[in-house]
Amino acid sequence: MGDLISSLLFQPPPATYLHPTRHFWLESTSGGRIPAFFIERPNAQVTILFSHGNAEDLGMIYDWFNDLARVLRVNIMAYDYTGYGKSMPANISPCEDFCYADIETAYSYLTDVRRIQPEQIVLYGRSLGSGPSCYLASKTAREGRSVAGVILQSPLLSAFRVAFNFRFTMIGDRFPNIDYAPHIKCPVFIVHGTQDEVVPFWHGQDLFMALNQNWRAKPFWVEGAGHNNIEALLRSSGAFVDELSQFLDLHISARLGNISSPQIVPDCVPTALHVMSGVRD
């Protein structure tokens, strides 16, 4: 059962080319070496740490995030999981524990090498990437210094629940985001397509309800969108980027130059609106 789940969860594509000047190497606590990129924008106060889906790697996402960093006025870091892309050793298979080790390695790079404060870091996980993102968000909260926020796009409740609607997390299940969610202590923004054919829409809905009410940012349910076409469906309207920008503006205090612990959603929205109004005046 475990091998079957792993084969469905992890589908690394053939390594996509990414120019050597666009990535660097991290020594993961998993024991391997993983590639990562860091896109830096002038005067950016927020850094997004992105965890990709199960069938993509850095070479496939670099151009999109280079544009997104410019439009959102943020730094963006992304990394490959052990067993993906150009990670070494090349013959190793990805697994849940490696993903957790890899995001912790990337996070340590931001805080220890780049000297970016946790309160300036927003975790962004797409599909499979919701797993390491929820894991790290709950871990930093338990350790007493949470990240600033979390963005989850097409997230799963857990691996087994993609196929079966279990009420409880079963032994051997992977990426139990529903169990991490109640421990997250920062604003969480969930994006999910209502016609998702891979991770059913109700996963996003139930994960939203599993969060502490104080940390539920208004979700973005994308009518008619599937699992892999949200960005493409909304490209012409710009709605996807607008929603991301609004989440950062309303919920991430570092966005406005105030590096402080995350505020609960009922408080941070009026505070942000007041500050932004003062800026406009």
Point out the residues that are catalytic: 127, 196, 227
Distance CA 64, CA 62 (A): 6
DSSP string across 178-230: HHHGGG--S-EEEEEETT-SSS-HHHHHHHHHHS-GGGBPPPEEETT--SS-H
Q: Could you tell me if 153 and 61 are in contact, meaning their C-beta atoms sit under 8 angstroms apart?
A: no
Token pair belonging to 187: 């604003």
* Cβ within 8 Å of residue 189, ≥6 positions away: 149, 150, 151, 152, 217, 218, 219, 220, 243, 244, 247, 251
Distance CA 119, CA 96 (A): 26
Q: What is the DSSP letter of 52?
A: -
Q: What is the DSSP letter of 157?
A: S
Element (H, E) at 125: strand 121-126
Token pair belonging to 85: 């892309």
Q: Could you tell me if 1 and 9 are in contact, meaning their C-beta atoms sit under 8 angstroms apart?
A: no
* Cβ within 8 Å of residue 107, ≥6 positions away: 49, 121, 136
Distance CA 26, CA 87 (A): 9
